[in-house]
Structure 1
Amino acid sequence: MLFSMEKNLFERIPDFKIGIIVYENIVVADSPSMLKGRLEYFQETVRTDLDERPVDEYEGVKEWRGVFRELGIDPKRYRPSNEALLKRISSGKDLPFIHSAADVNNFFSLQYDMPVGIYDGDALNDYIKIRRGQEEEVMEGLNGRMNNMEGKLAAFDHTGPFGSPVVDAGRTRTTAETTNAVQLFYISPSLPAAEAEKLLQAASTMFIQLHSGTSSIYLLNQNEPQLQHLSPS
């Protein structure tokens, strides 16, 4: 599978980075009590922290709002998913437990303060390209609503848009039957590449501890806007 980024994204944001982790032969199930406990503890920590500073003062929230503005996307209308999670917690709502892959994905988004998406690898078609949507490109979201993707930052495969820093598609959602998955990290541009690689390695290690299987890590940036994943199978 070929991974790539639209080169004109770097004209606006030279340090743009997308982290990709490919997981193979994994086992998705109900989240273990360890993960549920960490998520619950993290949420309580966030609620305490939110008493001292509002959501819009989180560095990741500020940076991704800035990225959206640079790309001509209104961050007040389209909220990055890490901000949406924080807003939900600040309103007193708990994050729902879905299954281990989705739950650990939410944990990563909170822990690293950035949008993170996870997708069923077998539902992806041919390639992944990070670019802005064009006229008439739409995506049916996880909530069943049709989302107009024109001008918005998104991930595309041969079929069309399947994910973004705001909303993901229903057609590529992970389930308890998922055995291969792809995780996208919308890394804050200010994070150096070496630190981004350490982050991806730490996330991969935790995910594999929970799900078994194998993982492969990729970092798309201006120096390497295109990379190839060759599955061992």
Structure 2
Amino acid sequence: MEIQVAADLTTFIPGFKLGIIEYQHITVGDSPQMLKGRLQLFQESIFFDLKDQSVTELPGIREWRQVFKKTGKDPNRYRHSAEALYRRVQKQNYLPSINSAIDLNNFFSLQYQSPIGIYDVEKLTGVINIRIGSENEQYTGLNGRSNSLNQLIVSADANGPFGSPFVDSDRAPVTENTKNALQIIYLRPSLDSENAQKLTESLMNMFVQINGGESSFRIINL
């Protein structure tokens, strides 16, 4: 799948990089008990850790808040998806198990303190462009609301935006019918190339271990 990143993103965000993983012939279903247990225990650990520190003090959360500021979005009003997950856990509103793909996505987003999106490839068309949303762009998000994409980083195909590190749209979610998927990891801009590769490959390997199929990854590092 061809993915292009708008050059002006490097103007706003020096070091901007993405981990891109493509999956084929996967089998998405109910999460194995091992994954459900790890996700639950990790959330409980985070909950207790956050008794002694603020969510915004966490390095990855803080760095992505700064990214939103640089593109022109107030991170207090528009919290990136990893921060939103952490704030849920802080309230003991733990994430329920959804399916084996989404649960892994949430687990690694919490672990890496970074937004991660995963999409059903069959619901996407043409070249994927990663860019900054314009004033008149919006979509219905997985949060059930209409979301303005102005000044947000967005992923867009031939039919328009479908994803963002803020909240994804309801157009291309991964379900139990998904066989081919695209995963976008919004890596911390400060992360060096070697660790970006290791992090992305680690996620990919665990995903395939649970969901089967074939996979490949690359780092888009401008």
TM-score with structure 2 length normalisation? 0.98
Between the aligned partners of 2:50 and 2:148, the Cα distance in structure 1 is 32
Distance 1:168 1:207 in 2: 20
- The separation in 1 between residues aligned to 2:10 and 2:138, in whole angstroms, is 24
Distance 2:185 2:137 in 1: 22
State the AA in 1 paired with 2:123: A
Measured after TM superposition, the shift of residue 12 of structure 1 is: 2.1
Structure 2 CA distance for aligned equivalents of residues 37 and 155 of structure 1: 32
- Contact 2:81-2:167 within 8 A present in 1 as well: yes
| Structure 1 stretches of at least 4 aligned residues deviating more than 2 Å after TM superposition | none
Give, in whole Å, the separation in 2 of the partners of 1:89 and 1:178.
28
The question of 1:35 aligning with 2:45 is answered no
Q: C-alpha distance in 2, partners of 1:143/1:48?
A: 26
Equivalent position amino acid for 1:174 in 2: V
Give the distance between the partners of 2:160 and 2:20, measured in 1 at CA.
18
Task: Determine the structure 2 residue equivalent to 1:69.
Answer: 69
| CA distance in structure 1 between the partners assigned to 2:41 and 2:98 by the alignment | 17
Question: SS at the partner of 1:88?
Answer: helix
- Report percent identity of matched pairs: 48
Q: Aligned equivalents of 1:188 and 1:127: distance in 2?
A: 24
The structural deviation recorded for 1:23 is: 0.5
Match of 1:152 in 2: 152
Amino acid at match of 1:192: D
Cα displacement string for residues 87-126 of structure 1 (whole angstroms, at most 9, x for unaligned residues): 0000111101111100000001001110011111111111
Instruction: Name the residue aligned to 1:99.
Output: 99
Aligned residues: 222
CA-to-aligned-CA distance 1:138-171 (integer Å, 9 cap, x gap): 2121133221212211111111111101111111
Q: Which moved more, 1:45-54 or 1:208-217?
A: 45-54
The two structures, once aligned, show a CA RMSD in angstroms of 0.9
Q: Which runs of 5 or more structure 2 residues have no equivalent in the other structure?
A: none
* Structure 1 SS opposite 2:142: coil
**3-state SS, counterpart of residue 196 of structure 1:** helix
Q: TM-score, normalised by structure 1?
A: 0.93
| Aligned-pair CA distance for 1:184 | 0.6
Q: Using the alignment, how far apart are the partners of 1:82 and 1:55 within structure 2?
A: 10
Gapped regions of structure 1 (runs ≥ 5):
223-233
Partner of 1:187: 187
Per-residue CA deviations over 1:183-210 (Å, capped at 9, x if unaligned) read: 1101000000111011011000000000
What CA distance in whole angstroms lies between the structure 2 residues aligned with 1:143 and 1:80?
Answer: 13
CA contact (8 A) 2:152 2:166 kept: no
1:90 paired residue number: 90
The corresponding residue for 1:55 is 55
Q: Does 1:115 align with 2:111?
A: no
